[in-house]
Amino acid sequence: MELLKRNGNSFVSIKNDMMWYVIIQSSYLFAIYSFFSTKGLIFALVVGVISFLFLETINYIEHYGLKRKMLPSGRYERVREIHSWNSNHSIGRIVLYELTRHSDHHYKSSKKYQLLDYFDESPELPYGYPSSIILSLFPPIWFKIMNPLVPVAMKSE
């Protein structure tokens, strides 16, 4: 809202990205309903919720407990290969299209996923991404397994 005001645009404006997102999502759901009725709409909504939860769960496990240091300038250190969890388990690598080498994506974001490398210095998930996704749904077990693996330099004081 502040950005719109600063640029001299109102809330109801072609420049309001959030309005575009609402319009596009509403149009999509209306089209689904029109073509596939209520069952199709419910299916699309369920798939959307599951996809969102899956995305956020992966984001959570990729970065759990890993922090960048704040520099004297007030900025954070550059993202490096130690700032996300890796996993070199074959099944996860194949099923998740090298998502398991997330550290290299952070390190060199322009690199294509098929070419992502493994770094020995990157923190390693103990059971791979698919198992970690399931484990993260049970917080007491997740914390018991993962908290000891967070590098000491990144733990909160």
Residue 23: domain span: 1-53
33 versus 115: which is more confidently predicted?
33
Same-domain status, 16 and 89: no
**What is the reported pLDDT for 83?**
81
Tokens 């990205």 belong to 17
Q: Which of these three, 53, 78, 94, is where a domain ends?
A: 53
In a domain, 59, yes or no: no
Same-domain status, 46 and 14: yes
Same-domain status, 10 and 74: no
3-state secondary structure of 76: strand
**What total of structural domains would you count in the chain?**
2
Torsion of the alpha carbons at 42, 44, 49 and 51, rounded to the nearest 10:
150
In a domain, 58, yes or no: no
Residue 73 has pLDDT above 60, yes or no: yes
pTM value? 0.70
